[in-house]
């Protein structure tokens, strides 16, 4: 998504066998710096129970700005 001067960073994933080695932090930092260099504001979304992702994003200097509530609908059985 790219609303206004904001650019979304999405789907930052690291295979469980390779977590804890700084890969996500390096990738997220590089992508965010590129967005900022273009004069835009990086943002992302995360489920509120994803503690490890939230910790990573906070280490990058990001903060929770909004809480969204999502309702998922499915086809009736």
Per-residue pLDDT at 13: 85
Per-residue pLDDT at 35: 95
Alpha carbon distances (Å) from 28 to 3, 17, 23: 20, 18, 8
For 54-75, write each residue's pLDDT tens digit. 998 898 888 888 888 888 899 9
For 22-54, write each residue's pLDDT tens digit. 898 999 999 999 999 999 999 988 888 989 889
Q: What are phi and psi of 61, to 5 degrees?
A: 90, 10
C-alpha atoms less than 13 angstroms from C-alpha of 74 in its C-beta half-sphere:
2
Per-residue pLDDT at 10: 86
| Both tokens assigned to 72 | 């998922």
The DSSP code for 61 is T
Q: What are phi and psi of 14, to 5 degrees?
A: -130, 135
Per-residue pLDDT at 38: 96
pTM of the predicted protein model:
0.74
């Amino acid at each position: 998504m790219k609303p206004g001067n904001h650019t979304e960073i999405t789907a930052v994933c690291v295979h469980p066998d390779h977590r804890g080695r700084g890969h996500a932090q390096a990738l997220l930092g590089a992508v965010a710096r590129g967005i900022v260099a273009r004069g835009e504001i990086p943002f992302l979304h995360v489920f509120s129970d994803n503690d490890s992702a939230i910790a990573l994003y906070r280490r990058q200097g990001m903060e929770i700005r909004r809480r969204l509530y999502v309702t998922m609908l499915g086809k009736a059985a």
